[in-house]
Amino acid sequence: MKEIKNKQIKGIACTIMGGICWGFSGTCGQYLFTYQKIEPGWLTMVRMILAGIILISISMIKKDHNLLEIWKYKRDIVRLFAFSLCGLLVSQYTYLTAISYSNAGTATVLQNLNPVMIMLLVCIAKKKLPNKIEFLCIIMALTGTFLIATHGNFGSLCISPKGLFWGIMCAIGAVLYSLIPGKIISKWGSMVVTGYAMLIGGIVFGFISGYYRKQVFLDKFGLFAVLAIAVIGTAMAYSLYLKGISEIGPVKASMLASVEPVAATLFSFLWMGTHFEFIDVIGFILILATVFLLSRKPKSDKYL
């Protein structure tokens, strides 16, 4: 009994720490855009390449045989590239761009609209209407987004149009990131698949966009922020979150990982001095509450 309790405590701690690491990395991105004048595209390329190298290196140290095995199956290779370019790359670029036009807290909260979007896709795929809980989540998500965007005033936006657009786009990116990989993550392991996907996406995006030719000059604080995004916001965050899942299960872990937008908001306020209105907090709470409500649904109603 004591061993089970210790396992639960360890899993909860790891999951919460993983979410905090993600939140911190978002604020590092906000710092780079504000004070180092870094472009979201360049940071997307660098973050993905560095994160991919770190995750693949960890897998090599652990002597994970899946590092080579995955390349023997053509269908899985196609899915890996689709996940990398249409899922992970889109998710990373839209998220960082949303931060550049708003702030880490707002972008991370808007990203959490993705469970509601996935739920709507489920309803369309199954040709059924949302149930009472699902309908309530739709209303809460729309109301939360409205409050963040307008502060309750129909005649004006309190967030830049580009900030709102990219915030919604990063939620769509999170949907693609969730749906595209299918079974390859459970088959080959999250660290192997995410590591390869990060590296492939970063390299391909760098060449297509031309960012690999761009010269960027960072001071020591900027360099720390870039490394923090790759190491703390990727390697540590994914490792802690995956450990949490193994100890307490995916449903409870996904709920606890909702500490990410809370952490991003706090870091943005304390470090960057970002000002949030009380009505923003209400909007944040409404959107985050949908994550908890949808996480409590029976497995048979879930898409993945």
Predicted confidence (pLDDT) per residue in 187-231, tens digit: 898 889 989 999 999 999 999 999 989 889 899 999 999 999 989
- Distance in angstroms (rounded) separating the CA atoms of residues 158 and 91: 24
What interhelical angle do 89-101 and 2-35 show, nearest 10?
60
Q: Which residue has the higher pLDDT, 221 or 247?
A: 221
Q: Which residue has the higher pLDDT, 147 or 297?
A: 147
Residues 31-70 as b/e (b if ≥16 CB within 10 A, e otherwise) read bbbeebebbbbbbbbbbbbbbbbbbbebbeeeebeebeeb
Residue type, 35: Y
Which residue is associated with the tokens 């908890």?
A: 292
Specify the length of the chain in residues. Answer: 304
**Token output for 269:** 């306020």
Report whether 144 contacts 152 (CB < 8 A).
no
- 47 in helix, strand or coil? helix
Percent of the chain's residues with pLDDT above 70: 95
Kind and range of the H or E run holding 21: helix 2-35
- Distance in angstroms (rounded) separating the CA atoms of residues 37 and 222: 10
- 159 in helix, strand or coil? coil
Residue type, 296: R
Backbone angles phi, psi at 77, to 5 degrees: -65, -45
Task: Give the pLDDT confidence score for residue 153 in this predicted structure.
Answer: 79
Mean pLDDT of the chain: 88
- 63 in helix, strand or coil? coil
